[in-house]
Each structure stands twice: as structure tokens, then as C-alpha cells.
Amino acid sequence: MSTTPPPVSGAWSTDDPVGDRRFHTFATEHPFAVENGSVLRDVTVAYETWGELNDDASNAILVCHAWTGDSHAAGRSKPGHPAPGWWDDVIGPGKYIDTDRWFVVCPNVLGGCQGSTGPASPHPDDGRPYGSRFPVVTIRDMVRAQWHLMRHLGIDQWASVVGGSMGGMQVLEWAIMYPSRVRSLVPIASCMEASAQQIAWGVIGRRAIRLDPRWRGGDYYDAEPGDGPTEGLAIARQVAQVTFRSDNAFTQRFGRSLTDRAKIGDTFGLWQEFEVERYLQYHGDKLVNRFDANSYLIIGKAMDLHDVGRGRGGVERAMRRITVPNLTIGIDSDVLYPEYQQREMCSMLSLNGVANEYVQIESTHGHDAFLIHFDRVGEPIAKFLDQVDRNG
């Protein structure tokens, strides 16, 4: 086990290698207003691209990441990117989203911590991290920031917007907010509005971070390594990790195994570890090295606030704004975003006369299956994009 103290924040900084990131900064002359009434200036969106934009800019696909994802959707690990792209088996030359054919863009969301403006970013007034000064943002705010990137890239319309989990929320908002800017949609393991249970899981994670004394109300960036809110963030991640997998996945992999039976004998100790405990601890400790506690709070809150019907006369009325073909993908073992939510989405679109297809992935892995079974998610996406391409 490493004795190196964890960083106060796992956020990317300008002192770190850039990797494959590119950056677009907007709101330099006029502020960017977010839904809660606050304004931001000098807003940066970090993004990565693959493939080449064609002459009429008609082959652009936007890929939207999930909660703790980032812009590195494809590519090898390298300086600036400690892990391979989270969808590296899906995006690339000759792959399901074929970059010999499509120009793919993946931005880090507003409020994130991997190059886009977020709580760990320097505030334009004093150069110190925003910390507690960073406002609550919504999925709609994230999409509006992506619209500025779209304009910067010279793209008038996305051939498709694709994303899983929180990425799927962005997909829906793109079609509702900018219906003329998208030709098709692929929401995966997502929902039209966050359910009470989904919000409940988020509340537990936020409370774990808030109760960490090293969180310091969100202003912890000048602390020494090892003195940041890593315990709270790790616990929040452990709670979330339980919802990302299914009961069958945990049972098949860990059962009731203890980490070291040889030391157990016939006695029981309060802190003897089950294998599943070590698994959760691993994922908690892993996240604190690559993510920021405040970004975790901000993005998690945005997911809980997600409701396409808010301020639009309800979900049904909002969904009527979606007029383009879509492929909706659900996962049969998903306990976080159960497949009934995706089926409801498809049913509503069908009633509105929108061309749509529902594909269900069979997997024991739960919500994370779209990040594990690349072939099962990639094949229907490739087929759908073929249709989009043929129909212009």
C-alpha cells in the first residue's frame, strides 16, 4: 500500500501535462449566466476530438461523459491522461463510432475538474480556486457551454449526440434546447427526470463530503497533501459504486469471502474485511487521485436537479420538442437508472410520432455495463449511425 499522502484535489491543473486536451474560452466580453442566477466570466471548456471534420461540417458527433468521466473518451494513457479513454473500444478508426468517417468531440462538462471551468479553477478576480464561490450549475448550463464550443468549432448541427448516464441527460437537453442543432440522439442508461431514489443516493454522498472536516466548506485547496476531504469523497464514491453494479455482479465476484481467512480462525473482529469492502475501498481511493470533491458535489447536484419538464410545462410537453430519430439503450440489471425509465422515454417519443428504437443490454454488471460491454453498446450505435448517415 502506498504511503504517499493523497492529493488535496485530483483536479487537472495548468501545471500538469496537457495531453490531448484542447481548450476554448468564452464569456470574455459578456458574462455567462447560469440557471441559479449567478454569472461566470472567462469560462473554459476542455475537449478532445478524433477524426476530421468534413467540408460541410455534417459528420460531427458529440459524445457526453458521465459523472466522473472527462474529455478523454478515447486514446491511450499518457502524460495528462493516467488511464486509457473510457470508451476507447467504441471510438476510433474502424471502431463502432468510426473516426475514419465521423468527427467526434467530447468536452469535459462545466463544473468538472479535468480542464473545464469548475470549483478548482482559478477565479478571474484573484486567481485563487473558486472553491465555495462556484455556483450550482445544471445539465442545461453544461449544454449551453457546449453550444459555445460547437460555434467555435464551426459546427451548425451534430449528426448525433451520444451519452450514457449523466451523458444521456445532456443528450436529451440538447434535443429540447436546440432542436435544430441535432439530427439524432443516443441516450444510454439515463432518464427524463431524476427519481426520488436517485436523488437519495446523491444526498448520502454529498453528506459524506460535507461532514469531512477537511472539506472546510469547500475552501481546501491550500491545504497540504493528505489534508484534503479525501475521506468524504472516497465514501461518497463507495456509496455510488454500489449503485453502479448489480447484486448478481457483487455476489458472483465476491460472495461472502473475507480478505484473509487464514487470520480469522473461529473469532470475529469488528474490522475484519470482506472482499467487497476492499473492492469499495479501492474505488474510493482511486477516485481521490483523479477527481475533485467540489466537482463531485457540483456535478452530482446537477444530476439530481435534472428534469426535462422543469419550467416547460412538465415532462410530456418538454419531450414533444424532440423530433429527431433516436436510439435509446437500457440495461436489464441497472438498479440506478432502471430500464423502465428508458422504456418510458421511448413510449413517450413514440406517442409523439418520433422514430425511435429501444435496445436492451443483457448484463450482470448493472449500470456500468455501458462502460464494460463495448460490443453490446457499440453494435447498435454503429447500426443507428449508418441509418443517420444514409438519411442525411
Query: What average pLDDT does this structure show over 289-305?
Result: 98
Task: Give the residue numbers of the binding site.
Answer: 237, 368
pLDDT greater than 50 at residue 198: yes
Instruction: Please tell me the predicted confidence (pLDDT) of residue 278.
Output: 85
Query: Exposed, middle or buried: residue 126 (CB in 10 Å: 0-12, 13-18, 19+)?
Result: exposed
Instruction: Please tell me the predicted confidence (pLDDT) of residue 23.
Output: 98
Domains by residue range for the chain, with CATH: 22-391 (3.40.50.1820)
pLDDT digits (tens, 9 = 90+) for 226-282: 999 999 999 999 999 999 887 777 678 777 777 765 455 556 677 778 888 888 888
pLDDT greater than 70 at residue 1: no
Please state the length of the chain.
392
Active-site positions read 165, 334, 367
pLDDT digits (tens, 9 = 90+) for 110-143: 999 999 999 999 999 999 999 999 999 999 999 9
Question: Between residues 81 and 282, which one has the greater pLDDT?
Answer: 81
pLDDT greater than 50 at residue 312: yes
Instruction: Please tell me the predicted confidence (pLDDT) of residue 262.
Output: 47
Please tell me the distance from the alpha carbon of residue 148 to that of residue 36, in angstroms, as a whole number: 19
Q: Cell digits for 253?
A: 465476484
Which helix (DSSP H) or strand (DSSP E) does residue 187 occupy?
strand 185-188
Residue at 106: amino acid letter: C
Query: Of the candidates 369, 364, 374, which has an alpha carbon nearest to the alpha carbon of residue 246?
Result: 364
| pTM metric for this prediction | 0.95
Task: Give the residue numbers of the binding site for substrate.
Answer: 237, 368
User: How high does pLDDT run on average in the chain?
Assistant: 94
Give long-range contacts, CB 8 A cutoff, 24+ apart: 53-58.
53/103, 53/153, 53/154, 53/155, 54/103, 57/154, 57/155, 57/156, 57/157, 58/157, 58/159, 58/392
Please tell me the distance from the alpha carbon of residue 184 to that of residue 159, in angstroms, as a whole number: 6
Query: What average pLDDT does this structure show over 61-89?
Result: 97
